[in-house]
Structures are given as C-alpha cells and as structure tokens.
Chain A
Amino acid sequence: MTMHPLLNQATTEITAIRSAAEASSLSADQLREQLLGKNGVLTQIQKGLGALSPEERAEVGPELQLLRLQIDAELTTREEVGTITELHIDRTLPGSGAAAGSVHPITAMMDEMVGIFSRLGFEVVDGPELVQDSQNFTALNLGPDHPARDGHDTFYVTDELVLRTQMTTLQPLELARRVKEEHLPVRIVMPGRTYRRESDATHAAMFHQMDAVLLDQQATFADLKGILTYFVQQLFGDDVETRFRPHHFPFTEPSAELDIKLKNPRGNAPTGWIEFGGCGMIHPAIIERAGLNPRVWRGWAFGMGVERPIMIRHGIRDLRVLTANPPTLFEQLGSLSS
C-alpha cells in the first residue's frame, strides 16, 4: 500500500524541521512551536484534511493525529525527564536475599496432605500429645496385656500419662464427640506429632502422622482403596503404583497395609515396594463404644507417617535431618522449585 501524499508530506517536512532544529540546538519548546504550534507544520497539514474526500479523510486523519501524540509525548519527555543515558549493569551478579524464610518441609507436607483430604470433604481435628494410656491403648482394643503393646515403645510420663504413640489415639474421643453433637456422618483428618521410644535412620523419637477417618452408613473397603489410591496419586502423580496387603491392627477389621512403588525413584528414594500406611475398616467395638450401632454405622480409617512421603519425594535417606533443621534443608527444600 502506498503512503497517502498528505502523510508523505508530513513525514518529510517534520524530518526536515527536526534536522534543522538539531543543527541549531533548538529548545524543546521552540521545536514544539514549529511542529505542533498554531502555525506548526503538522497543524498546517492537518488543516488540509478538509479538502479531502470523506474516505481519504477517514484514512489519513487518525494517522496524523497519532503522529501528533507521538511527537507530543517525545517532547514532553525531553522537557521533563531530560536526556536518558544507557545503564551498565553486570547481569552475572548473583541474586540476593534468596535465603528467605520458609515453612518447614514437615508442616508443608502436612498442609498438602490435609489439602488433598479437605477437597474430599474431610475436616481437620487436633488434640493433646499427652494422653491417658487408656486412651492411647485400651480405647483402641489394646488391653493392658495385649501383645501389640510390645510393638509400641512408649514414653510414659507418669504411670497413666503417655506421649501419644499414634494419631489414631484421637479417633475414639473424636467419634464420641461427633456422636454426642449429632454431627454425623464423619469425615476427618488428624495430623500431628507422635512419639515412640526409638531412634535410627528411619525412626525418630518424635515424628508426625496423619490419620483419616470416614464413618457413615455405606463405607466400604472398596471406598478406602479408592480414596487412598486417589490420595497417593495426588501426592506423587502418575509415577506411582499402589498395592494393599493384609496386616493387623487391633482397631481395624479387616486391616491392610498400603504399599507404594515409584516408577522412577529419585535421589536416595527407596526402590521397590515401600510401606506407606496402615488402614482398614473401623473395628465394630470402637464404633459401639462411640455410641453407635456397628450393624448400621461403619467406616474406615487410614494412618500414615508424614516424614515418609517427604523422604520418598526428595530422596532423603536419614529422616533425622528433618528435625536437625540444618540451613541446607531450607535452602534445598524451602523454595518453590522443591
């Protein structure tokens, strides 16, 4: 498309005035007068628009007006900002302040786990860490002589008070409370700190667990499988396989263990099947003690460690680094890229 003669004329005349102005060091004010003033070239040319046909006017008019705005903006900048010089910045300098604050990887993982369950309508429940031993054991079908108590290396604080050994400890009280408040059915998650008297690369005296409990009148083991499969996929993406195998917990019947296997384990993450959590249908005695008829109400429960998925995801071999809190932990796992 060829340029309209009027536009052509404007460009040529403006260029001429600009070079003349440069040669004679004209001020911005004077240049504005010559270009945009009452008798300025652009004003004169715009006056010529009236002689054109309506079609031509519609084509050239806006173009000239745009030219006027651009020149005006340029001159205003020259008047008010002055000359802009180039900056010289070393773009190879490192960023500063990157070692900012961060949420601890354990709480971040707990938040993530709770988030997945809350999307399925689960509410958060918490409770004390110092509990009656009857609450920690007897209420979960672990009587004083139950052999499974041997597996719990428990910190007794007094003869009756213990540091809770598992988050399941909250389950009976919470179920009873919900029944009393007639706030049924139940979908809850219970994240928190738990304690066992042991310490090695994969066991710490203080660690974290999260339990999930669903209680209604139609819960099934198939639902439990469905939810846990969804949960594991939300945590690890498609890069994970799951399997359920028999296990024993005094507070669930039937009971199962959930194992997961990463297709592409990273770093020091374990290969092969990894024990991920325990689960099962809530034992009828627990439902009964909560004040419900176990022939009508049934449910499932799931419990897992919080450290384990962090170790798997980031390839951590010794979980004690998580509570040792070295700066490297936050440098490597504290940012978005982790």
Chain B
Amino acid sequence: MNIFTPWLERYAAPLPSAEQLGERFTMTSSEVESIERFLPHLNEVRVARTLAIHPHPNSTKLQILTVDLGVLGTREIVTGAPGVRVGALYPLALPGTTLHPLKGDPITLGEREIRGVVSPGMLCGADELGLSAVVTDGLLELAESATPGESVLKALGLEDASVIDLSLTPNRPDLFSYIGLAREVAAFYPKARFTEPALASLELAHPPLQLTAKIHDQTIAKRLTAVALALPAQLPETPLWMQLALQAAGIRPINLVVDITNYVTLEYGQPMHAFDRRAIGEGSKITIGVGTVADATEIPLLNGKTYTLVPGDPVLVSTDGVALDLGGIMGGAMMSVKEDTAEIVLQATCFPGPVIRRASRRHGIRTEASSRNEKGTDPELTITALKRAVYLLQELGGMKQISNLADTSTKAAKSDRPRIHLSVSRVHEILGTSISPTDCRSILQRLGFYVASINKAALEVVAPTWRADVRLEEDLIEEIVRIWGFERVPATIPSGPIAAPQPHTRFYRLQKIREIAAARGITELVVHPFASERELVGTRIAPTEAVALPNPLSAELAYLVPSHLPTLLRISTGWSTERPEATFMTYQSVFQAGPTEEKRLGILLRTQADHVAAYRTVRGHIEALLGSCEFQAANDEELFHPGTTTTVLKDGVVIGRVGAVHPAVLQYWKIRTATTVWFAELAIAPLLTAKLPATFSAAGGFPAIIRDVTLQRPVTTESALVAAEVQAAVASLPVEGMSLKDRYVSAKNPEVQALTYTIVFRHPERSLTDEEVNAALEQLQ
C-alpha cells in the first residue's frame, strides 16, 4: 500500500515527518519498504509572476512574458499558452530541469530559440509537470499566496509530500485504505487526531427511480448496496488534488466519475463501480443483482479482452439477468460510463474473499479492486463508501441522486463478534512483563475496540467490524504489545525445567560423517534436487522413475531427481577446468516416482587414475565413513559402465550401489573420456541410529612378526581368492591382521598381477620364531 502523506493527513493530523511516521509504522504496525519524496524534480520548477506581456516579433501565436522570479531576478520567456495575464503566477522550468509528464518521455530543458527569440526557460501546464493527465495548452495558475522564486512544490503545499510504501500482512485488510491507516496512526501516534470524511445522507423523499438490490446466490456475495445518480450535461474535470492523490497511488486519472470511485476505494478500502444506468434496465423500476453465471458466458471487460465466465465466477447482473462484469474484479467494457451517459448506478458489494481470489486466479486478472476484495472487506463498508462517493459526486460533479438507496445482505454479513475476556494476569503470563489495565484499555480504544471493565484485573472487549482477525485473548495481547512497544518487553533467559534430552543420533552421526569426509579431501555439496527431462535422459535415468512437478519454475527444473547423479555431475562439469580431480559428497533427499522420498549419501569421484584405483578409492571412502562393508559384483545398471555395477551391503543388508559412470553419461555432461568418474549412492539412514560404542582391545604383550608376501597370479584371478590362498597357508599361525599392500601389473606383462600382502603374526602367549613363520610362508609361490 502506497501512502501519500498529504492524503493521510486529511484524516489523521498533525503527522510527524514521513521518516518518523515510517519508523512508527515499522515498529508498531506494518513494515515500511521505502519512503520517497513526491515528484522531487518539481523542486527545481519555480514560481514566476507575470510582469508584462509583449508580442513576439515573428509570430502572432506566441507571446513574450517578462516574469519576476523574486531573488532570481527577471526573465523574458516565450510562450504559446492562451489566456495568460499580467499579475498571474505560473510555474517556470529553468534550463537544466528535467520534466516527467504523465504521457511521453521525460524532457530535459535547454535554452531554446523559438522563432528567433531565445527563451531561458518554459512556463508549464499541469500536464507538463506530471501533475495532471489532462493535456491542455493552458498554464497551471498558482494561488496568489505563492511567492515568486520559490519551488512550485512549496506553492502547491507538497513540499514535504512523500509516498510511503507499506508492506501489509494478510490479517490486516483494514490497512488497505486511508481510513484504516489513519485509525492506526491515531493509535500509535496519539498526537494525531482521527477525522472521518464528509458523507452524503442518501435519504431521498420521492425518488423518481425505484432501485432494488438482489443477491441471487448467497455464496457469491454478502451484501449489495447501490444508488442511482443523474450526471450534469457537462462533467467537470477532476480537481488537481484528487488527480495528485490517485497518481501517488499509481492510478491514472480518467474522468470524474471513475476517479471518485477509485478515490473512495482507496479511502475506505471498499471497491465500487459505476454502471451506465441503461445497462441495468430501462423504466422506473430496475434491479441490480449479484450472483454467478449458469453456463459459460463470454464477456468483454474493461481491459479490452474477452473472457469466458464460468459458474462460480461473481457477476453483477441487470434487471433482465444479463451479466455485466466480473464482479469485484473488473468492470464490463459495454456497461461503463461513456460520453453520452446521463445516469449512473453506483454499487458497492461485499464478497467472501475466496470467491474473488478463485475467480481472479482463474482468469489471471489482478486489479486494485480484486486485491482488496480477495482479502475480504468489512460488510459495514458498502454503505459508508457509497455515501462518501455520492457526497463527492454531488460536491465536485454537481450530480443528483435519483433513486432510493438499495441495500440487501445475507446472514454472512452479520459479523459475529465475540466478547473477548482479557485478564491482566494473562497479559503478564504471555509477555513476561506487566502492562497496566489503563494502558491496555487506552490502546484498544484508540484502535476502535469496544472495551468494558469487568473488574480491576479484567476487561471485556469486542473488536470493531473491520478487525475480523481479532477473536482471541492472545490476539488482543498482540494488539496491546505492538502499540505499547516490543522494545519495552525485557529480554530474559528461560528458567523452566528441561526434559531429559533424547540426543538426535542421526544428526550428530551425520556431522561425524561430514567431518571424516572433509578430512579425506571430499567436498560436501548442497544442491537443489531439480533437473530437466533432458538431463535425466542424458544421465540414462528414465523420466518415469522421477517425479515430474505439475508446476515447475522452468523446464530446466521440471523434475525432482531420483538419484544424486545428475546434480553431482552438473557441478562436476562446472569444476572441470579449475579442478579436474575432485570428490564430492552430499547427503540429501532424492525422490522416486510414487512419489516417495529417501535420504541418500551420494559420492562422486573424478580422477585421472585408472578404474581399479578409482574403485579402490571410492570403496576406501565408503569404508572410512561407514565402517567395513561388503562389495559384490552385480548385474549392469543403466547409469554405470558395463561390468562395474557393484552392490554395497552393510551387515548383510543392501544399502546401495557403486559403479563407474557410463561413458554415454560422461559424454552428455561433457566430461572428457580421459577422466575416470565413479559414483556411489547409499541409503544410510538405517545406519545412523544409536549403537553401542566399540570396545578397544590392546595388542598382546609378545612381539609381532610382520612380513610382506608377494604372489604373482593371472589378472583375472580375484584378489579375494588370492587372499584366501594366503590365509590358508598361514592358517596354523596366529594372524593378527592382513592387508593388501600393493597390486602391480607391469606394462610388459599385462596378463599377470603381483599382489603384495602385509601379514602381522602375533602369539598371545609366547614369542613367535622366524623359522615357524618362514616355514608357513614358503608354501606360497
């Protein structure tokens, strides 16, 4: 909501500076997004008094004016404007000033020669200054009270005018209006007095036109209020102050009738619309109704487009049942006020918010009216807003009321306003500080609440009709504390008891896994789980396995990934030039069609080393992070290079798979073939539960004998078989540990692998001798 400060000051005065007002709004009510001066460039446009008028030597249409600029001296200005007179005060834009007219591009003025005469500046009309949408040849005549030489903003009383952009929360639709804002200001800034604007009575003894309001569908509207007026032969122009107010709100002035309906919408927050009376019906008895359409109905709206309305859409209807508009959202193109309109029917309707929200979404139309109506308006407002609009139409437009006030409502319009019990002790309980009953009462009353004392320590409170959001004692406490001041609540440390903690093993064990991974040179990534269809296919993942989002942000982010592989490869590609060797890990959710969600650990290794080394590195990482696991060759999976798919088991349970990424996938992700990429994906959540701590057993007291033994076997022989062979040979001796120290395949003889094992022998009761160890190892060749 944009607040134009001079407008707000009509209902709450005096106001502090815009900055102070903004600060108070932020700290007690709603957050201020920005504060801007209104038309700051007009500070450079000066008030000029006409001293003399001379004819232009080369033109009969142009004149030369001698103008007085006070301390700035006098100037000879060329103008083509009609009706200039000596003694009048006009705005003068001096060379260098930039003007921002409402129509067209900004103009920066220079010293211009006009038909042979140099003019050091330009006398301006309201349109050229950006003050009015009405294009005119005439100059803006300033009030006699203006001083020559001063800024035109000062002369217009807009010197301190600012636009405050307020960010409103959805619980406060009442602040979407100047009256609501003024009430709020009077509550948090008691120096300002709240004043309601003038209203028309709408009582007419013998109306020539009988107007009926009818709600055809009780689910579509809560209240409908309408009145008819006759327009004068010539509709006056909208006064400058109203045009300025609308512009500050970002609304383009159109004509007096539309401008007044827009103005009152902003004033009270109750949207309204004026129909050409002929659209409602001819004759002396007409009916305006509100309901919905029975079948799909095409209707052209004010934005020039035609929409197909469907049952459920709100519509205002004529006496004959013709749909006139998209009710509460946008007027119909055919039914609005036109050049030849002589009579209008002005209506204000209270809709249930969701009706408008659904229709606004359905048709993709958002307007000033829909943004207010969808939040739900106060049913009491339709009549007040109508009285205000009629007052302005009569005062500014010379219009005459020609019908009775038609007003109808449903049960839903009778707002149920609970009596809320507020106890002083509850205020203290919730806030941890005391606020006196006097303060509570005063704050609530300034906000428009009805307050009665029950006793010294309790109040009975009823919220005003515009505060349907306040229903509970806690709601009242919020109202009180925000105005009283959050900064006055002390900051304390909770003293309450603590339940015996249940440490979250999963979280802390993951922390440990991350630390170990980092220590092993692995970079942890946090990636979003989205991918495109193309990326899934490129990674040899069937899109049917993934979750397609019904409303993705873009085609690039259309799926939730069922595996970490595409997202990790995407990052890996980005790293390729800077860091050709890197290992990533991530522990996050992935999503499978179903949809189901599973948290998985993903590891992606990218190296210049060969596949054997890469496999051993990944396996080493997994065992370092999770403890010893079994690795079993498995049937090929799509993602992996043929012959590399490996199942990982922990304590006999399959937890995931490992493999070299398929060359076609690497090709898709533009990863060079010389690079080896291995990927592991493991569902480790079951492993992250609490478990008993490991018990430590110290090495025995007798010296160990440590030997390396190397065996040459065909490369096709699995190392596990060779290891078993070694174990069998030394079976008679006590072996404390055995590990593969080295595996070597020479380029000369690629058919043979040399496997070197380190074996630790230790007897628990005596020293072993070299002889017995040698004897065992000699069996191995």
Contacts and interface: CB of A to CB of B under 8 A. Distances in A.
A72 interface: no
Nearest to B520: A101
Interface string B485-498: 01101111111111
Contacts of B497: 185, 216
Nearest to B571: A325
Contacts, number: 224
B24 to A, nearest CB: 11
A78 to B, nearest CB: 31
A261 interface: no
Interface residues on A, range: 35 or more
A121 B496 CA distance: 11
Interface in A204-222: 204-206, 208, 214, 216-222
Interface stretch (A4-12, A43-51, A126-134, A263-271): A126-134
Nearest to A285: B472
A142 to B, nearest CB: 10
A223 interface: yes
B504 A327 contact: no
Contacts of A156: 549-551
Nearest to B480: A254
A253 B169 CA distance: 14
B517 interface: yes
Contacts of A206: 528-530
B659 to A, nearest CB: 22
Contact of B504 (A124, A187, A193, A229): A124
B553 A123 contact: no
Interface stretch (B60-68, B427-435, B727-735, B741-749): B427-435
Interface string A153-186: 0011110010100000000000000000001111
B557 A205 contact: yes
Interface stretch (A14-22, A63-71, A82-90, A143-151): A143-151
A52 interface: no
A244 interface: yes
B482 interface: yes
Contact of B514 (A103, A126, A151, A221): A103
A123 B547 contact: no
B511 interface: yes
Q: Is the interface of A mostly helix, strand, loop or mixed?
A: mixed
A230 B491 CA distance: 9
A114 interface: yes
A322 B547 CA distance: 24
Contacts of B496: 185, 214, 216-219
A253 B597 contact: no
B528 A204 contact: yes
A186 B496 CA distance: 10
A145 B354 contact: yes
A193 B374 contact: no
B494 A197 contact: no
Contacts of B478: 246, 253-255
A77 interface: no
Contacts of A217: 496
Q: Which of A120, A205, A245 has the most CB of B within 10 A?
A: A245
Interface residues on B, range: 35 or more
Given A205-B530, A246-B482, A322-B526, A121 B172 contact: no
B492 A151 contact: no
B610 interface: no
A101 B430 contact: no
Contact of B589 (A193, A208, A221, A243): A193
A323 to B, nearest CB: 5
Nearest to A328: B578
Interface stretch (B27-35, B38-46, B713-721): B27-35
B172 A145 contact: no
Contact of A157 (B353, B520, B550): B550
Contacts of B482: 246, 254
B357 A222 contact: no
Interface string B313-357: 000000000000000000000000000000000000000011001
A125 interface: yes
A95 interface: no
A308 interface: no
Contacts of A314: none
B550 A126 contact: no
Contact of B487 (A158, A218, A244, A325): A244
B170 interface: yes
B560 interface: yes
Contacts of B27: 243, 245-246
A120 B493 CA distance: 10
Interface string B69-108: 0000000000000000000000000000000000000000
Contacts of A243: 27, 486-487
B701 interface: no
B28 A221 contact: no
B574 interface: yes
A93 to B, nearest CB: 21
B307 interface: no
A187 B574 contact: no
A107 interface: yes
Given A197-B553, A246-B482, A253-B475, A101 B521 contact: yes
B549 to A, nearest CB: 6
Contacts of B646: none
B499 A187 contact: yes
Contacts of A250: 171
A183 B502 contact: yes
A168 to B, nearest CB: 16
A199 interface: yes
Contact of B518 (A101, A208, A322): A101
Nearest to A143: B354
B517 A101 contact: yes
Q: Which of B491, B503, B547, B591 has the most CB of A within 10 A?
A: B491
B297 interface: no
Nearest to B28: A246
Contact of B499 (A128, A145, A184, A284): A184
B486 A245 contact: yes
A221 B432 contact: yes
Interface in A65-118: 99-104, 106-107, 111, 114
A330 to B, nearest CB: 6
A54 interface: no
Given A111-B511, A226-B494, A148 B475 contact: no
Interface in B579-597: 579, 582-583, 588-589, 591, 595-597
A222 B475 CA distance: 17
B170 A148 contact: yes
Contacts of B520: 101
B353 A145 contact: yes
Given A187-B499, A246-B478, A324 B560 contact: no
B486 A246 contact: yes
A38 B770 CA distance: 40
A219 B430 CA distance: 7
Given A101-B517, A101-B520, A204-B528, A125 B504 contact: yes
A62 interface: no
Interface string B7-39: 000000000000000000011111100000000
Interface of A: 99-104, 106-107, 111, 114, 120-121, 123-126, 128-130, 145-148, 150-151, 155-158, 161, 163, 183-187, 193, 197-199, 204-206, 208, 214, 216-223, 225-227, 229-230, 243-248, 250, 253-257, 281, 283-284, 298, 322-327, 330, 334
Sorted nearest first, the 10 A-B pairs with minimum C-beta distance are: A220-B432, A222-B432, A254-B478, A248-B169, A124-B504, A145-B354, A246-B482, A206-B528, A147-B170, A216-B496
14 contacts: A100-B521, A103-B515, A107-B514, A107-B524, A123-B501, A220-B429, A222-B433, A225-B486, A246-B27, A246-B28, A246-B482, A298-B430, A324-B571, A325-B525
Given A130-B596, A148-B171, A246-B486, 6 more contacts: A157-B595, A219-B496, A221-B430, A222-B489, A223-B494, A245-B486
